[in-house]
Amino acid sequence: MRLDDFLARELAARREAGLYRRRQVLESPAGATVTVAGRRLRNFSGNDYLGLAGHPEVRAAFARAAERWGAGSGAAHLVTGHQRPHHALEEALADFTGRPRALLFSTGYMANLGVVSALLGRGDTVFEDRLNHASLIDAGILSRARLRRYAHAEPTDLDSRLAGEGHGAKLVVTDGVFSMDGDVAPLSELASACARHAAWLMVDDAHGFGVLGPGGGGSLAAAGLGMDEVPILVGTLGKAFGTFGAFVAGSEDLIEMLIQAARSYVYTTALPAAVAEATRASLALARREEWRREKLAALVARFRAGAAELGLPLMASQTPIQPLVLGEAGRAMEVSAHLRDAGFLVSAIRPPTVPRGTARLRITFSAAHEEADVDALLAALEETGAAA
């Protein structure tokens, strides 16, 4: 088949299934309101949970560091790209997570690929929650280990699968907060299952850091778990911390092993030093300003109370990710388009990002929102008939 024919066929199939994806061009910075095609929209689709992406101190740190260090790092970490700001951020992240070391990666996707494929190979087994983020699933596939998927947030299912695998290393991998459902993994129970079967536990807390637990320490801090239970902890910097990048936190030897063997760490350019400096500033704000978490929790509670009154089909999530499952992809697109007409940016999430028949609006909240934004969204949801 000619490439042109193949592409035309594949794209047409996606259009027909209502799964065609399009980007929109934003004409404003990330924030509680954004401009798209000249229109101001209230934004309920971002991951800037604490409202730090545009914070003056974070922007100033970024600008100062760009002046001092330039726009790019110039090389991979193991060549000449590892600069003082990267190192200082790693130390700050180690301190934040209460672990001996942290290692900076350029993205969360790359951190996940790097960790799993550095630790596992043929003959090993990786166990993944069915609703894990795509980067974790891809990491499992890339590692060449056997991939076993257990029922979502079901430690008993995990336990029996662990019991059924005899040889090789066993790694259990889970989102801390599930990115499309907003629920928190049953970490203590997963850790107990791992302990029973000598498996290693890895948590990707992309959506928990900054948001959950005292000081924004994440879902492990909220559950009172440490390095003994969860030796491998991944976090991202592009969500609550408002910048870009990711990290892995763990023991001295874990980090040294990743420096040797994580290919997505070794074979890529270090992120710009200015991003690291901006992140140090936002990390300090995230730790210090408890009011951001309190405000966020109050906004989420207000939304849930209002949505329950309207009879909207809420999920069990208590986090800033509040999905409204609508079923078919076309329906989710329709409601999202109505909301846009009413002045709200709320993305529809469709398969394969979520299972078939569970297309949804992924509504997210930020400390940058106000109560009036939540009330306006509820009124718009009522008008668009999202409950029907």
Ligand X SMILES: Cc1ncc(COP(=O)(O)O)c(C=O)c1O
Count the Cβ atoms, other than its own, within 10 Å of residue 123.
11
Burial state string for 15-43 with b = 16 or more CB within 10 A and e = fewer than 16: eeebbeeeeeeeeeebbbebeeeeeebbb
Question: Taking CB under 6 A as the criterion, which residues in 132-151 touch ligand X?
Answer: 133, 135
- The nearer residue to ligand X, 222 or 386, going by C-beta atoms, is 222
Question: Taking CB under 6 A as the criterion, which residues in 235-294 touch ligand X?
Answer: 236, 238, 246
End-to-end alpha-carbon separation of the chain, Å?
Answer: 45
Name the minimum Å distance from CB 198 to ligand X: 26
Question: Taking CB under 6 A as the criterion, which residues in 155-214 touch ligand X?
Answer: 175, 179, 204, 206-207
Starting at the edge strand that comes first in sequence, how are the strands of the sheet with 232-236 ordered? Answer: 101-105, 246-250, 232-236, 200-204, 170-175, 125-129, 146-150
Q: How many residues does the chain have?
A: 388
One symbol per residue from 219 to 238: x for binding ligand X (CB under 6 A), - otherwise; what is it? -----------------x-x
DSSP secondary structure string for all residues of 196-246: HTT-EEEEE-TTTTTTSSGGG-HHHHHHT--TTT--EEEEESSSTT-S--E
Name the minimum Å distance from CB 205 to ligand X: 8
Name the minimum Å distance from CB 236 to ligand X: 4
Which residue type occupies 121?
Answer: G
H or E element in which residue 149 lies: strand 146-150
Name the minimum Å distance from CB 160 to ligand X: 25
User: In the bound complex, which residue of the shown chain has the CB atom lying closest to ligand X?
Assistant: 108
Please confirm, yes or no, whether 251 is among the known catalytic residues: no
For ligand X, the binding residue among 46, 81, 108, 213 (CB under 6 A) is 108
Interface size with ligand X, residues (CB under 6 A): 13
One symbol per residue from 67 to 106: x for binding ligand X (CB under 6 A), - otherwise; what is it? ----------------------------------------
Q: Which residue among 55, 170, 207, 295 is the active-site one? A: 207
Choices 59-67, 107-115, 163-171, 356-364; region in contact with ligand X by CB under 6 A: 107-115
Question: Residue 168 in contact with residue 123, Cβ under 8 Å?
Answer: yes
Phi, psi of 247 (to 5 degrees): -150, 160
- The nearer residue to ligand X, 69 or 105, going by C-beta atoms, is 105
Q: Tell me if 347 contacts ligand X by CB under 6 A.
A: no
Return the closest-CA partner of residue 282 out of 249, 319, 247, 237. Answer: 237
- Cα(265)–Cα(259) distance, integer angstroms: 7
- The nearer residue to ligand X, 111 or 368, going by C-beta atoms, is 111
- The nearer residue to ligand X, 47 or 125, going by C-beta atoms, is 47
- How large is the greatest C-alpha to C-alpha distance in the chain, in angstroms? 59
Any idea what the Cα angle at residue 137 is, between residues 265 and 151, rounded to 5°?
A: 145
Q: Which residue among 179, 264, 282, 336 is the active-site one? A: 179
Name the minimum Å distance from CB 176 to ligand X: 8
Please confirm, yes or no, whether 239 is among the known catalytic residues: yes
Angle, helix 134-143 to helix 108-119, in steps of 10 degrees: 30
Name the minimum Å distance from CB 279 to ligand X: 12
Catalytic annotation, residues:
179, 207, 239
Binding site for ligand X (CB under 6 A): 107-109, 133, 135, 175, 179, 204, 206-207, 236, 238, 246
